[in-house]
Every structure is written in structure tokens, then in C-alpha cells.
Amino acid sequence: MSTPGTFIAGVTDADIEEGRRAYQQDREHVFHSWSAQAGLDPMTVLRTEGSYVWDGEGRRLLDFSSQMVNTNIGHQHPAVVRAIQDQAAKICTIAPSHVNAARSEAARLIAELTPGDLNHVFFTNGGADANEHAIRMARVHTGRHKVLSAYRSYHGGTDLAVNVTGDTRRFGNDHAGVGVARFLPAYPYRSYFDSTSEEEETTRALRHLEDVILLEGPESIAALILESVPGTPGIYVPPKGYMQGVRNLADKYGIVWIADEVMVGFGRTGEWFAVDHWDQRPDLMTFAKGVNSGYVPLGGVAISDEIYQTFAERPYPGGLTYSGHPLACAAAVATIQAMKDEGMVENARRLGTEVFGPGLAEIAEKHPSVGDVRGLGCFWAIELVKDRQTKEPLAPYGGSSAAMGELIGALKAGGMLPFANYNRIHVAPPLNMSTEEAREGLRIIDEALSVADAHA
Ligand code: PLP
């Protein structure tokens, strides 16, 4: 043990003591998300910097999760910390009805970066409420009420957002799902359509989507909400032609396409927005997380000129006290500037093609427990199976297993903070991670996978 004031990997004894106190208070008073509260053993974080976090014992871990896939620019970026401090010294908060320089500049930058004519921005506090408001806008715009969403999707934890969610997190909340109809997603590795090629998957998944539209009644459907690359449900990249097909169906039936870019927006996949990979223009696009790396809560809806016109003469029936909060918007302006100045989107693309793509393909070849690896930029999934032939997952959909628990333990012991979900490990590090850090992460994964192989 070191003496007070000295550093254990950048952390003092006083920090560790504070962390222990915090842990106790947490267990007594903090109610955690998506969890049974008894028996929880959350990790204490004492310090964060760049691509690293320090746990309650002062151990440095490589953050391959970007927390909740939001710290796209890494931890404690000095320019963003400074921008928040400068804004706090000037104006901490202002009602959404007033004009504020940070909010105006953030909106201008977002309108400039988003594709097509998404020229207007409604700010929210995060991703779930962005989706709630996007759906409300679509309903008023079309005069219709139904919403289509994909199974194996996640759109947030508030009432409507969790009801359009298509993964198991909606269980227990389904009662409020009035007007929500779901369709099966294009998911080549576990095709619901028995497809044997990418082309087949695209054709069959789109035919199924059109069937659902027709069976639900196109004249009743306001919106189709879709994660551009579904994130927590599995990082399955849409097959070629699928997104164009979605655009075509939305146009054919007058349905508003809401692209949920909460997790994949702002560079995560190696383009500013994931829809840019397929050159697509949604009618509404929701964002959060990466817009300011989560340094201060912020989300929003980018709105097309056409939908904006609906609200030119009639009031928009919605609002939030903290819409376009100055601290959050100042952080967004500084984040976007830092991403541009430091070429982070290009770096994410380069890491994807030069390091993660080939590195994970090698890992897949070597380890019998790896069923599939897939992704783009700094956004990859390693799907773990007991058997490559049957594709039996290493943990059930929506659940956990001892084998996955052991794997997560091995990754942490190796020096990594992983993002794990069901039978998958996600690779979602900061976009400005160095090549050496990325390779070190792959080395830790490679070593830890022997634990999973023992169950395969
Ligand atoms: N949409 C997607 C695709 C997400 O991944 C998330 C969160 O992970 C959300 C919406 C909800 O965002 P928030 O937790 O900020 O409400």
C-alpha cells in the first residue's frame, strides 16, 4: 500500500478511500438501471483519462466500452472540459424559449453535418426522449398513429421508447405499447428468413417489411423507427441494399423514416452518421451520446425541411425545461470541433479497416467459441457460441451464463473494461484510440477467449 498522496497508477490512497465510501453509499441509496438491486456489485471508477478508467483499487483498465458507447472522444478531453468550464462561468442555464449562443452554434453544426435537408434541431436530454419526440412529430405530421419498429432493437427506457424497443428490455413494459407493430430485422448471421446470402437477406427482409406495412394498413402508420446499425441488440450491419429499400418503402407508403443514430451517430462507425455508409436521407434522425461524448446529458432530433413546415404555422405540442442546455451544447460544439480538428471520424474508419476488421477476423479463425465477428469503424460485435455449426449461443438471448461471466472476468483481469451483452462482447472504444491501444485490446480479447473456448 502506498502512503497518502502518492499514486497507484495515477490514483491516491485518498481517492481509494473516497471510492470505498462511495461504494457503501451507492449500495445503500442508489437505485440502478435494468437490475435487480440486491446482490449488485457495481465497479467503482476513481479516475478517467483518454482511453482508460481506474477502478476502485486504482487499477487502470482499457475502456473498450466507451462507457455506454458514448465517450467517442475519450475521457476528459481537455478542450471539452475547458468549454464546459468557460460556459459555466458565463451562463449555466437558460430557458429553452431564449436564444443562447452555445445552443445556436450546436444546432448549426449538427444541421451542417447531418445528411440531406435535416436542417432543424430539437434538443432533448438524451436518446429515449429524442425518440419519443421524433415519434410525436411523425404522428402530428402524418395524422396517423402507428409506429413500426424492429425486433432486436433498443430505443430507450422511457414509456414509448421502451415500447418501440424490440429486445427483451421491453418485457414488463409492454402494456403501454398501443399502436406499436414490429417487424423482423435483416440479420444475416441468424437470418429469420433462412437466407444464405446477403442479397437474399435484403430481398426477403424487405418483402417481410412490406408485408407488415400492408397487414397493419399503411394509412395508419406514422413512422418506421430503425437503428441505422442496431447497437446493444447485436451490432448487425444491414446487408447491402437494405437501407435503400427502407427509404423506398417509406416513400411508397408515406411513412416517416426515423433513423435512430443515438449510438452510432457522430463517427462511431467511421462516418459522421451510419446512414452515410449507404448515402441515405432519413426524414428524422435522433442522436445523443456521441454528440458531446456524454460529458453533459444531451440528445436531439434533426428534422427535415418538410416536417419542419408542418410546425411552421401550428405549435409543436412538446418541450423540455433543459432543451438545448447551455453546458451540454457548449460541450457539443467543443466535441464536434475536436473531432474535426483531430480527424477522429477518419481515425475510427482507419481503425476499423486496418486493425479491428483484420484483427477480429484472425481471432474468429483461431477461437472455436467465436461464431461471428461483424462491424464498422469502432463498432464491432464478437458473437460467442457453444457450437459453430448449430450457432447455439454461449448465453441465451436476453440472459447471461457462467461462461460469459468467466469471459468478462478474464477480460477485466487482462486489463480491459469490456462491453458485454448476452452472448456478445462489443468492441466500442473511443474513436481517437491509438493503433497501439487498439492492438493491446485485441491482444487482451485473444488471451481471454481461451476461457470461452473451454465451453465451446
Ligand atoms: N437509442 C439507441 C440506439 C440507444 O443505444 C440508446 C441507449 O443506449 C437509446 C436510444 C436511449 O438513449 P438514452 O439512454 O440516452 O435515453
CA 451 to ligand 1 centroid distance, Å = 31
Looking from the CA of residue 289, the nearest atom of ligand 1 is: 15
Share of the chain above pLDDT 90, in %: 94
User: For 171-186, b where at least 16 C-beta lie within 10 A, e where not — what string?
Assistant: eeeeeebebbbbbbbb
Ligand 1 neighbour 359 (Cβ under 6 A)? no
| 441 within 8 A of 61, measured Cβ to Cβ | no
Global confidence as pTM: 0.97
CA 155 to ligand 1 centroid distance, Å = 5
Looking from the CA of residue 131, the nearest atom of ligand 1 is: 10
| 228 within 8 A of 261, measured Cβ to Cβ | yes
Ligand 1 neighbour 260 (Cβ under 6 A)? yes
Ligand 1 neighbour 225 (Cβ under 6 A)? no
> pLDDT at residue 365 above 50?
yes
> pLDDT at residue 170 above 90?
no
Ligand 1 neighbour 232 (Cβ under 6 A)? yes
CA 68 to ligand 1 centroid distance, Å = 9
**Beta carbons within 8 Å of 287's beta carbon, 6+ residues apart:** 110, 127, 130, 261, 262, 265, 266, 299, 300, 301, 302
Helices (H) and strands (E) in the chain, counts: 14, 17
Give the chain's radius of gyration (CA, Å): 22
**Burial category of 21 from C-beta neighbours within 10 Å (exposed 0-12, middle 13-18, buried 19 and up):** exposed
For residues 227 and 254, give the distance between their C-alpha atoms in angstroms, rounded to a whole number. 19
**Beta carbons within 8 Å of 126's beta carbon, 6+ residues apart:** 156, 288, 297, 298, 299
| 369 within 8 A of 455, measured Cβ to Cβ | yes
- Measured by CA distance, the residue closest to atom 12 of ligand 1 is 127
Ligand 1 neighbour 234 (Cβ under 6 A)? no
The per-residue pLDDT for 7 is: 57
CA 83 to ligand 1 centroid distance, Å = 25
Ligand 1 neighbour 127 (Cβ under 6 A)? yes
Ligand 1 neighbour 441 (Cβ under 6 A)? no
| 93 within 8 A of 326, measured Cβ to Cβ | yes
pLDDT digits 0-9 by tens, 45-64: 999 999 999 999 999 999 99
For residues 119 and 114, give the distance between their C-alpha atoms in angstroms, rounded to a whole number. 8
Ligand 1 neighbour 154 (Cβ under 6 A)? yes
Specify the length of the chain in residues. Answer: 456
Mean pLDDT of 223-231: 98
For residues 13 and 22, give the distance between their C-alpha atoms in angstroms, rounded to a whole number. 14
Domains of the chain (ranges, CATH numbers): 13-76+344-454 (3.90.1150.10), 79-342 (3.40.640.10)
CA 407 to ligand 1 centroid distance, Å = 25
**Beta carbons within 8 Å of 379's beta carbon, 6+ residues apart:** 69, 229, 231, 235, 264, 268, 269, 352, 426, 427, 428
State whether residue 387 is helix, strand or coil. Answer: coil
Name the E strands within 31-155: 45-49, 52-55, 60-63, 118-124, 146-150
Question: In degrees to the nearest 10, what's the CA dihedral of 234, 240, 242, 248?
Answer: 150
Ligand 1 neighbour 227 (Cβ under 6 A)? yes
- Measured by CA distance, the residue closest to atom 13 of ligand 1 is 127
Per the structure block, which three cell numbers stand in for 141?
A: 405530421
> pLDDT at residue 6 above 60?
no
Share of the chain above pLDDT 70, in %: 97
For residues 456 and 401, give the distance between their C-alpha atoms in angstroms, rounded to a whole number. 13
The per-residue pLDDT for 173 is: 79
Which is it for strands 52-55 and 379-384: parallel, antiparallel or unpaired? unpaired
What confidence tier does 172 reach under pLDDT thresholds 50, 70, 90? confident
Per the structure block, which three cell numbers stand in for 111?
A: 444541421
* Test site for ligand 1: of 131, 152, 263, most ligand atoms within 8 A of the Cβ: 263
Mean pLDDT of 190-219: 98
For residues 452 and 386, give the distance between their C-alpha atoms in angstroms, rounded to a whole number. 9
pLDDT digits 0-9 by tens, 413-435: 999 999 999 999 999 999 999 99
CA 186 to ligand 1 centroid distance, Å = 20
Amino acid letter, 223 = A
Looking from the CA of residue 227, the nearest atom of ligand 1 is: 3
**Beta carbons within 8 Å of 356's beta carbon, 6+ residues apart:** 375, 378, 380, 427, 438, 442
pLDDT digits 0-9 by tens, 110-120: 999 999 999 99
Ligand 1 neighbour 258 (Cβ under 6 A)? no
The secondary structure of 300-351 as a DSSP string is: EEEEEHHHHHHHHHS--S---TTTT-HHHHHHHHHHHHHHHHTTHHHHHHHI
Mean pLDDT of 235-254: 98
12, containing H or E segment: strand 11-12
What confidence tier does 253 reach under pLDDT thresholds 50, 70, 90? very high
Single out the residue of 269, 173, 261, 189 nearest to residue 225, CA to CA.
261
> pLDDT at residue 408 above 90?
yes
Check residue 353 and report its DSSP letter.
I
CA contacts within 13 A on the Cβ side of 154: 18
The per-residue pLDDT for 5 is: 43
The per-residue pLDDT for 384 is: 98
Ligand 1 neighbour 294 (Cβ under 6 A)? no
Check residue 273 and report its DSSP letter.
S
CA 63 to ligand 1 centroid distance, Å = 19
Ligand 1 neighbour 133 (Cβ under 6 A)? no
| 444 within 8 A of 429, measured Cβ to Cβ | no
Mean pLDDT score of the chain, rounded to an integer?
96
Mean pLDDT of 261-279: 98
Ligand 1 neighbour 166 (Cβ under 6 A)? no
* Sign of the alpha-carbon torsion through 334, 71, 56, 446: negative
Mean pLDDT of 139-160: 96
How far is residue 391 from each of residues 189, 252, 387, 423, measured CA to CA in Å?
A: 9, 37, 5, 11
Mean pLDDT of 179-203: 97
| 449 within 8 A of 364, measured Cβ to Cβ | no
